[in-house]
Amino acid sequence: MKKFVITIARQYGSGGKEMGKLLSKELDVSYYDRELLRLAADESGINEELFARADEKVRKTLLFKAARGAYKGEIIPPDREDFTSNRNLFNFQAKVIRQLAESESCIIIGRCADYILRDMSNVLRIFVHAPLEACVNKSMEEHPDMSREELMRYITRVDKNRADYYQYFTGRSWNNAENYDLCLNSHMLGWDTCLELVKACLKVKLAEK
């Protein structure tokens, strides 16, 4: 099979991460999620904790409301005061994502990877979603100390943060189907069907000239 990358954007509790791990095993390729923070820290020499703070959980107050323009591949040099700015931390993550995509087949979770790799023909971009009630049900085991109402608020907040993060760095809407090759309702379709659809779509993608 040709070299490929599958990017997965997902609503919290929809099972996007689990789907990525299953695909990683079935397709025998690497899986990258928070590992990207360590790789970006190694690449830049910047403390990994700073990358974690500027991750998808960054508060809207830190991101401001307006996008500052989409990522274009630039890196701010160490002698600049904004070397450790949110913008440059994102730039280093983007650089690592492109390096991985150019060197190996892999699964990449979140971090605007679908946008960063938008010019690569061998990238399959997926968005995984599910009804809020289904996301709450799935998240209850992970958060046994939270009530259903608290979980609903938490999931809504996390998804809003992800949408703000995506819009800030890409200028696009996170849940817009036009950004992706395949959108999957994991609750309606189930794991097995989702995996088969991804593999079928990947086959079509790699056959494109």
- The predicted-structure confidence for 129-168, as pLDDT tens digits, reads as follows 999 999 999 998 889 899 999 999 999 999 998 898 888 8
| Residue 118 pLDDT > 60 | yes
How many Cα neighbours within 13 Å face the side chain of 127? 19
Mean pLDDT of 9-18: 94
Q: Give the pLDDT of residue 125.
A: 97
| Residue 26 pLDDT > 60 | yes
Contact indicator for 174, 183 with CB cutoff of 8 Å: no
Percentage, residues of the chain above pLDDT 90: 52
For residues 28 and 96, which has the higher predicted lDDT (pLDDT)?
28
Domain assignments of the chain as residue spans, ordered by start: 5-207
For residues 49 and 133, which has the higher predicted lDDT (pLDDT)?
133
Class of the 5-207 domain? alpha beta
Q: Give the pLDDT of residue 57.
A: 47
Predicted confidence band of residue 55 (pLDDT cuts 50, 70, 90): low
Q: Give the pLDDT of residue 128.
A: 97
Buried b (16+ CB within 10 A) or exposed e, 88-116: bbbbbbbbbbbebbeeebbbbbbbbbbbb
**What residues pair up with 183 in beta bridges, in sequence order?**
127
In angstroms, rounded to a whole number, what is the distance separating the alpha carbons of residues 5 and 104? 8
Structure tokens at 97: 């994502």
Strand ordering across the sheet containing 5-10: 30-32, 106-109, 5-10, 123-129, 182-185
